[in-house]
Amino acid sequence: MFLLGILPGFFTLWIRRGIPESPRWEQANLRRQAVLERKRSGVLLQEHERALTRFTLLELFAEPEVRRRTLIAFAMSLATTLAWWGISAWLPPYVASVAAKAGLSGPQWASFAGMAYNIGAIAGYISLGFLADAYGRKPVTLFYFALAFITTPVVSCGPRPAPAPGRGVRERVFSLGLYSWMPVWLPELFPTRIRRHRGGVLLQHAALHRLDRPAGGGNPDRQLRRLQQRGHDGGDDLLLGLVSAPFLPETRGKPLPENV
């Protein structure tokens, strides 16, 4: 399994060899190199030139507007990842518990749930980009956050005559498809000179211990309630992204920023 996971990485390296850098990045890199040469020769640099020589991670927090966008994007990525971990760790065992109570095979139905919500995730990944191009980055991202927040508790609510793993499809369209806001919106929020490192500082939360707590021992009803609570916890994390996204600017149809 580990070997199969590595193979796409080698394929990506092969693809990367045939993709040139964008002209905009090449120009920014040439300007950076020229300024570094001037700095090494002892020339006193102006403020906009010093920005080109700063360590990129420091540059993310050097200017007020860039810092504001970085912190908001951090909050949104935190919400996206926390919700994904919470929901992906909860849904298969939840479906397995419902199946076991119905006298069905828990592991088999957990596998069905995994396949179903991965189908939904792929649909979400693909559709967000097209929708963002048609209607805008901000409204579509907010739409995905809102629908993920609404559909997550719906999976575990209401009558459960059968495990119904297909419920996870519509939830995954939004909760996992939500990840596509990052490659679509993030690169358009930052100047070219720092764009390649802005994603690396969107660190992940270290609160996964709550996902590892026992789900109620051997009592089926108690285990089911515990799994339901995990799903609700994952959905609640989406609120952070929902309240953060409105504070970022809409970028659809606008030129990429050189200065923010």
pLDDT recorded at residue 213: 46
What is the mean predicted confidence (pLDDT) over 47-56?
A: 77
Percentages of the chain per state (helix, strand, coil), in multiples of 5: 75, 0, 25
Distance (Å, rounded) from C-alpha 22 to C-alpha 24? 5
Residue 121: pLDDT over 70: yes
What is the mean predicted confidence (pLDDT) over 234-245?
A: 82
Task: With both helix axes pointing from N to C terminus, report the angle between 220-236 and 64-101 in degrees, rounded to the nearest 10.
Answer: 160
What percentage of residues in the chain have a pLDDT greater than 90? 21
Residue 183: pLDDT over 80: yes
Residue 197: pLDDT over 60: no
Nearest in space to 162 (alpha carbons), one of 114, 113, 120, 221:
113
pLDDT recorded at residue 169: 61
Residue 48: pLDDT over 80: no
Higher pLDDT, 69 or 87: 69
- Calculated CA dihedral for residues 171, 180, 124, 206, nearest 10 degrees: -30
Distance (Å, rounded) from C-alpha 173 to C-alpha 156? 16
Which pTM does this prediction carry? Answer: 0.74
56: tokens are 């990129």
Distance (Å, rounded) from C-alpha 73 to C-alpha 199? 9
Taking the mean position of all CA atoms in its chain, how far away is CA 29?
Answer: 28
Higher pLDDT, 149 or 160: 149
Distance (Å, rounded) from C-alpha 73 to C-alpha 248? 8
What is the mean predicted confidence (pLDDT) over 7-23?
A: 85
Nearest in space to 248 (alpha carbons), one of 131, 75, 126:
75
Higher pLDDT, 106 or 172: 106
Dihedral sign for Cα atoms in the order 95, 101, 106, 111: negative
pLDDT recorded at residue 249: 95
pLDDT recorded at residue 216: 47
Lowest mean pLDDT among 64-68, 73-77, 148-152, 211-215: 211-215
SS3 of 39, please?
Answer: helix
pLDDT recorded at residue 214: 43
Residue 61: pLDDT over 80: yes
pLDDT recorded at residue 182: 93
